[in-house]
Structure 1
């Protein structure tokens, strides 16, 4: 099962690089968004309603994706007589693909950064696809800051979180002794659950909504580890990136205290970590006027610095994908030895 799960991660990453995202009308997360909009308009704005939405919606979405993997594998077994493992791998990869987003967000970020130097009004308009802030009065430098911040935060939300969910699900299934098909369905289901939690927070987790309290708190808990893992990925990639004057950056241990201080500035317990890390890597200030300023003693990003930030986020995503594949394959194959039973299917 471990090799099948690692293969699914690789296939999902390849699909993201090749296609970006499915058309909206065929995108399960877009369907989820429409369901959340309906719930938002239909249920009372109470804390109890929010708890119900936070408990039921991600669970239902995760079970739906897991069910697709199981049903597809069963259909292959009935119609062909074999190939259920391959079918489950492809369907699990498809589930992870629709639950994660990397290439498209990076492309939008590149466009915003380029437009900030040539057409700031259009850049402000394009920024709305990345950040929910009011961009009408942002300077070109602040537009670039918002784009870089969003790229780093979206690394955690859009890629690392569902990827970690998939890996944890695969490893847990292997530890429980589940066969390949069932294990891949669990992995797909956990990735879907994580994606739904994040979607709920982005749509309902606002301070002025009573029902948004539970989705927001659940997202805070779920994103705690992915946000910090994303920070480590960004710093690791940045460590290998020369500064403009050719000198290598300091060690992760040396940079971490300043990142930790800056990460605590935004109100969110998680979003500050990837933002503070990309700011440290780029040696620039990241500021949301009237809300926070990270690394305030440094200049706001130039076009060149912001473009470098997009490259760092892209490479950090690739590093995360590679790391998850290796961990799933390595630890997954070691689980039978650790358990001493040797009964877990490979």
Structure 2
């Protein structure tokens, strides 16, 4: 029944709002990380091993989640909704992202060293030499990028298949989250084993990144900005992350920069505390819109 998928989305959004994340010791993504960890080493045939991991590990994750949802649904459809909600809660993340970004931005005004320390959990860059301006930039960039990777992508996968089967929807969300997690563990230039996982992640995140840009523009009431962000969005090496970041930079009229990698100069100045806070609020509204739209889509 469509209503069950919509209820699962609503419960997942409520759990995210109240609890932020499942406990680390039982978090399914952490469990997947432990399963994938043995692949993170030097191999004599790294491309083949990476391809094997990219194909099999996400499928195993998807199969486990879909199987759990399906088997419990046989006992009770509403028990299946509960499992689906927990699966979505585990594969999406909004409040933790917003809390981390808000903390980093506020600390830049009072304790830059603490802001650098907190940034390590939010952005994959060395913060030791970053100024307060650059730290705020990194927080805004990460909020935008993780909106796509950590929320829109698994919700989109769920929305595509949940109308067919609740179990398929949860399995699809788990598959996307596993692909992204594998890329975050292995997808670095100095790790040949991560080459195939990185390319797979690029393909899977192509549409969610652009949908995230659309969501940001619409919740800001400025859909026209999307016509102008293309040149900025193509500056980062990633084919995807530039879209939500460039859109947010344009909406804020600010400068976002990862030194030595890219410059998104939609404005001349780095975001101050007020502008960065507005950026985090826009990500919050876009994330809530993503939950709401997913609930509507799976209803029909």
Q: Which residue of 1 aligns with 2:283?
A: 313
Q: Is the 8 A contact 1:92 1:188 kept in 2?
A: yes
User: How many Å separate the matches in 2 of 1:267 and 1:274?
Assistant: 14
Q: Is the 8 A contact 1:106 1:314 kept in 2?
A: yes
1:270 matched to 2:240? The reply is yes
- If the length of structure 2 is used for normalisation, what is the TM-score? 0.97
User: How many Å separate the matches in 2 of 1:45 and 1:125?
Assistant: 37
What is the number of equivalent residue pairs in this alignment?
300
1:140-155 correspondence to structure 2 within 5 Å: 140-155=132-147
Q: Is the 8 A contact 2:84 2:166 kept in 1?
A: yes
Of 221, 230, 234, the residue aligned with 2:212 is 230
User: How many Å separate the matches in 2 of 1:258 and 1:216?
Assistant: 28
Q: Which residue of 1 aligns with 2:65?
A: 65
Of 107, 127, 131, the residue aligned with 1:139 is 131
Q: Is the 8 A contact 2:250 2:266 kept in 1?
A: no
- Match of 2:257, SS? strand
Q: Which residue of 2 aligns with 1:279?
A: 249
Query: Shift in Å at residue 44 of structure 1?
Result: 4.7
- If the length of structure 1 is used for normalisation, what is the TM-score? 0.84
CA RMSD of aligned residues (A): 1.3
Q: Which residue of 1 aligns with 2:226?
A: 256
Moved beyond 6 Å, runs of 4+: none
User: How many Å separate the matches in 2 of 1:288 and 1:194?
Assistant: 26
- Match of 2:162, SS? helix
Unpaired stretches in structure 1, ≥5 consecutive residues:
78-83, 174-182, 240-250, 331-346
Q: Is the 8 A contact 1:9 1:96 kept in 2?
A: yes
Q: Is the 8 A contact 1:152 1:275 kept in 2?
A: yes
Query: Who wins on radius of gyration, i.e. which is larger?
Result: 1
Q: Is the 8 A contact 1:234 1:316 kept in 2?
A: yes
User: How many Å separate the matches in 1 of 2:218 and 2:73?
Assistant: 38
Q: Is the 8 A contact 2:209 2:240 kept in 1?
A: yes
What per-residue deviation string (whole Å, max 9, x for no partner) do you get for residues 15-51 of structure 1? 1001000111010100111111122248555111110
Q: Which residue of 1 aligns with 2:103?
A: 111
Of 214, 219, 225, the residue aligned with 2:201 is 219
- Match of 2:263, SS? strand
Query: Shift in Å at residue 297 of structure 1?
Result: 4.2
- Match of 1:212, SS? helix
